[in-house]
Amino acid sequence: MGDFSDIIPKVIDATKEIFTGMVMMDVDQEGEPSNELGVIKDSITGMVGLAGTHKGMLAVHFPNELALAITTSFLGMDVNEINEDVQDAVGEIANMLGGNVKTLLTDRGYDIQLSLPSTISGEEYTFLADSDLQQIVIPFTAPAGNFYVELELEP
């Protein structure tokens, strides 16, 4: 597949559009993309798998406070704890962004399908990425905290 770093600007645009359009939040890239994330604390991650001619995974990692703010905005009512509504909202964001990445890759001629989204949450966890994969972590800032979009793709 080659280097996919040229789709990073489009992933950034897609993230901003999803937040502006669906979550009513303005978000911005915060710093340069990296290829490592480290230990994640007091957070919830939404993830979706990419399957087909090129395999991969997209994850969005939110600190709890930001996940609550996002869900509150989605539902139009106050959410105070990480519950099923938050899991659904975070999973849905991963799903929407995954859909955008799928379109970007399909435009390049790849045949990609999305898996079911799922979420991981906890006090402390680490994603151990397979070193054979291309891994990109893009940091963002939102009004209620910073978050990361992580994309792993088979080269």
Partner 1 sequence: MPPIERYITDATLEVFSTMIFIDINPGEPLKGQDDGIDSNLTSMIGLAGDLQGVLAVHCPEKAALGITGAMLGMEVTEIDDDVRDAIGEIANMVAGGLKVALAENDIAIELAIPTTVLGKAVRTSGQAGVSRFIVPFASPVGDFGIELKYVLH
Question: Which residues in this chain contact partner 1 in the complex, by CB under 8 A?
Answer: 47-52, 55-57, 59, 84, 87-88, 91-92, 113-131, 133, 152, 154
Query: In this complex, which beta carbon is closest to partner 1, that of residue 100 or of residue 121?
Result: 121
Query: In this complex, which beta carbon is closest to partner 1, that of residue 110 or of residue 141?
Result: 110
Shortest Å distance, C-beta 10 to partner 1: 20
Shortest Å distance, C-beta 28 to partner 1: 27
Query: In this complex, which beta carbon is closest to partner 1, that of residue 76 or of residue 116?
Result: 116
What count of Cα atoms within 13 Å lies in the side-chain half-sphere of residue 32?
Answer: 3
Closest C-alpha to 19, from 88, 120, 84, 89: 89
- Phi then psi dihedrals of residue 94, to 5 deg: -60, -40
CA end-to-end span of the chain: 5
Shortest Å distance, C-beta 129 to partner 1: 7
Query: In this complex, which beta carbon is closest to partner 1, that of residue 23 or of residue 153?
Result: 153
Shortest Å distance, C-beta 80 to partner 1: 17
DSSP annotation of 130? -
R_g (Cα) of the chain, nearest Å: 15
Euclidean distance between CA atoms 15 and 154, whole angstroms: 21
- Phi then psi dihedrals of residue 112, to 5 deg: -125, 140
The tokens of 27 are what? 């978000």
Query: In this complex, which beta carbon is closest to partner 1, that of residue 80 or of residue 126?
Result: 126
Residue 78, H or E segment:
none
Shortest Å distance, C-beta 143 to partner 1: 25
